[in-house]
Structure 1
């Protein structure tokens, strides 16, 4: 089923956590001309939104997510994060903004195999401050409890199932209390049951904490459980619609 096509009005800078205007991204591929991947993206992400980002392979989803995550610089345009223009910031300032504002969940969890679940969750705090404070340690424990891993926090990744490892990765993404989590195919490496459980956990965190989520997914069933669908086609936003829960987005990539 196709959700009701409700086009969302653009939020102003003041009420948007993220505001992209005319964002373009080109790559130099060793030829005299550059290859442009994103062609003038305008996007608003409001505080507390839960957004599915979809599109076929090569549509620019990963590039857009990397720009949102301050992992790549755009070629031109404006990107305001929490009201601050980030385009002119140097690498050190971008790193600080990324640590304080953004959490990341990837398809492959990237847990350190020699570390326990608890130690993996505290890594962002260790990287940001050079040590893990008692406050951060207590927060990490509470997050592992919240994701159902209170009894497994001292186990290493090899002792956990794929779904449990992804829960550790979600707790790690939240340990610095970011207002926005970017999730790139967070259930793409899981079976159907584990995928549904992990996605339900993301939705619960969103409901309880008010954290904003932008979730890249190829699965229309998961996208239908989001509140908004942004679809990229050939580097442009082809659709930006509110989703009626339980309706499956059409033409999903």
Structure 2
């Protein structure tokens, strides 16, 4: 290993004893996450599962720097982020993280290409020729080369989610967080979108943390992290062909 390689942290994210509480008023609070220890290593494809109310969305929001934890340590690419102000967190989020949500959140008046370039516009105030070329190559990679100028209403649900995936990748983030990315799709489209995520992971080495309720999709990930009542109940590698038990 050379000096440059040694300087790169093996973990993109390292959480240590992370807790999250919400103030309920009158000196009362509810703790949703109870001392989470979690590492996300480079090149991993992780399924995050758990029953409703287990804290999955809260944990994903903390991983995405969308919510602040109440206590604990959060190192992102080797840097402690707990003490950073909102502006610094925004910069770290833009440079390190991509997001794919259950609802694609495409702007209806924008073409597919324009939607994909939005993160570049927000980050730099303009869309350069390089950004446009990269966005076109991403749309080509997700099978939408012929639909770049179409608006969301002209695309199927699966195609809209493919645009959202391209948008998540346009700034070349090392980690993509996906919250039920196939939750609103039919079975065939769901399988296609998930296969696309896996192919991007294999070809680009992008790390993924995917929230899913579908044990069939989780079985195609490399690692399963299961939350129950705000605690990690299981964190293990998934052997090929072994399907996690469905949750009740």
Q: How many residues are matched?
A: 241
Which of 165, 175, 179 is matched with 1:184 structurally?
A: 179
The aligned counterpart of 1:84 is: 79
Counterpart secondary structure, 1:14? coil
CA RMSD of aligned residues (A): 1.0
Counterpart secondary structure, 2:221? coil
Matched, 1:70 2:78: no
The aligned counterpart of 2:212 is: 217
Which of 102, 113, 122 is matched with 1:107 structurally?
A: 102
The aligned counterpart of 2:92 is: 97
The aligned counterpart of 1:8 is: none
For residues 66-99 of structure 1, give each alpha carbon's deviation from its aligned partner in whole angstroms, at most 9, with x where no partner exists: 0000000000000000000000000000000000
Which of 177, 193, 196 is matched with 1:198 structurally?
A: 193
The aligned counterpart of 1:9 is: none
Deviation at 1:32, TM superposition (A): 2.1
Deviation at 1:244, TM superposition (A): 1.2
The aligned counterpart of 2:38 is: 43
TM-score normalised according to structure 2 size: 0.96
Q: Point out where structure 2 has 5 or more consecutive residues left out of the alignment.
A: 1-7
CA distance in 2, matches of 1:40, 1:250: 25
Contact 1:219 / 1:252 at 8 angstroms: preserved in 2? Answer: no
Task: Give 4+ residue runs of structure 1 displaced > 3 Å after superposition.
Answer: none
What are the equivalent positions in structure 2 for 1:1-253 lying under 5 Å apart?
A: 14-252=9-247
CA distance in 1, matches of 2:208, 2:31: 27
For residues 38-63 of structure 1, give each alpha carbon's deviation from its aligned partner in whole angstroms, at most 9, with x where no partner exists: 00000000000000000000000000
Q: Higher relative contact order at CA 8 Å, sep ≥6: structure 1 or structure 2?
A: 1
